[in-house]
Amino acid sequence: MHVSVILTVLNEGEAMRELLDSLVVQTRAPDEVVIADGGSSDNTAAIINEYASCLPLRLISAPGANISQGRNAAIRAATGEVIAVTDAGVRCEPTWLEKLVGPLTPNPSPPSPMGERGEGVRGSSAVAGFFRSDPRTVMEIAMGATVLPEARDVNPRTYLPSSRSVAFRKDAWEAVGGYPEWLDFCEDVVFDLNVRERFGPFTFVPEALVHFRPRGSLRTLARQYYRYARGDGKANLFFKQHVVRYLAYLVAAPLLIYTALTVNAWLWLLGVVAGLAYLRTPLRRLWPYLKTMTLPDRLRAILYVPLIRVVGDVAKMVGYPAGATWRLRNGDRREK
């Protein structure tokens, strides 16, 4: 089975080394690594070429390509029948590729009455790996705990994998029309939905791990979540979840504050309980890190969690209408 690892990059510079170093030591070596460069103006291409002697690298030029266009260009150039996708900015576990492509390996067919084996029974069409927070600062610890799920939070039947760690057959990619090039963000969600609709749920392999460094500031988080929500609006995704968020912030919270101020002060307690319930999961994820922190860092990490939640939610509430407006002007591309 020929396996191509692909990714698309733009001005990643020194961040490429950690990923490429981790690909060098894979227990199942990639047959090729195809990287689409979207027009980097830094030393990204030079760093990638440094690894040509230890990885079967192919660097292709895709100036101006968005993420979908870059991934599609790399996949089109790939020669493998199995495609494994990852991103710059991650570090792959040594067994990542081996675990990720395992379910895609054809199962040997039973012997015929003459004692001969056939070519094998086709395995899965798509596999979802997983990613784990790889924080370096207190803010990144709180960020990872707040925005990144743990494996136990995942329902394998409905999980839509990030393209930091996913694999599929190239013919499955062709069958769904590839990554949606009209989307600049949220593109992997639309691709996953198309694959799941055509081929059924992804085979979930949480052991196929990459380590991902969370955003390091509230500003970068806000920018990222604005773009994600704008992508949701463009693709007409998760409408109910966004409506619930608007109702919570624009109706329920102001109403609770007003009644607590004018009717019964005990309603503040209800607000505290509701807030703790909303923060329960990130605080649960944060708990193991708190055990190793100093007291000031513990307090900072705990205080960051509600800030991260609120900033992320506000960014989503601003981004979704921007995407929905784009969709009204350009039509619903998912229906085409």
- Tens of pLDDT, residue by residue over 12-52, are 988 899 999 999 999 999 999 999 999 999 999 999 999 99
The third-level CATH classification (topology) of the domain covering 3-110+123-212 is: Spore Coat Polysaccharide Biosynthesis Protein SpsA; Chain A (3.90.550)
d(CA 90, CA 208): 13
d(CA 180, CA 236): 13
What share of residues in the chain are helix, strand, coil (percent, to 5)?
50, 15, 35
Show the tokens assigned to 188.
Answer: 């992997």
Asked if 36 and 71 count as a contact pair (C-beta separation under 8 A), the reply is yes
d(CA 148, CA 75): 27
Show the tokens assigned to 103.
Answer: 């379910």
Any idea which of 116-130, 132-146, 283-297 has the lowest mean pLDDT?
116-130
pLDDT at 113: 45
- Tens of pLDDT, residue by residue over 37-48, are 999 999 999 999
Residue 122 has pLDDT above 70, yes or no: no
Residue 125 has pLDDT above 50, yes or no: yes
Half-sphere exposure of 44 (CA within 13 A, CB side): 21
Please list the residues that pair with 17 across neighbouring strands.
Answer: none
Contacts of 176 (CB under 8 A, 6+ apart): 191, 194, 195, 198
d(CA 171, CA 78): 12
Average pLDDT over residues 3-7: 97
- Tens of pLDDT, residue by residue over 198-247, are 999 999 999 999 999 998 899 999 999 999 999 999 999 999 999 999 99
Kindly list the domain boundaries of the chain, sorted by start residue.
3-110+123-212, 218-335
- Tens of pLDDT, residue by residue over 244-290, are 999 999 999 999 898 988 888 878 888 889 889 999 999 999 999 99
The pairing of beta strand 32-37 with beta strand 57-61: parallel
Mean pLDDT of the chain: 91
Task: Give me the count of residues in the chain.
Answer: 336
Element (H, E) at 255: helix 253-262
The pTM (predicted TM-score) of the whole model is 0.88
d(CA 89, CA 91): 7
Q: How confident is the model at residue 334 (pLDDT cuts 50, 70, 90)?
A: low
pLDDT at 117: 40
pLDDT at 109: 42
pLDDT at 118: 39
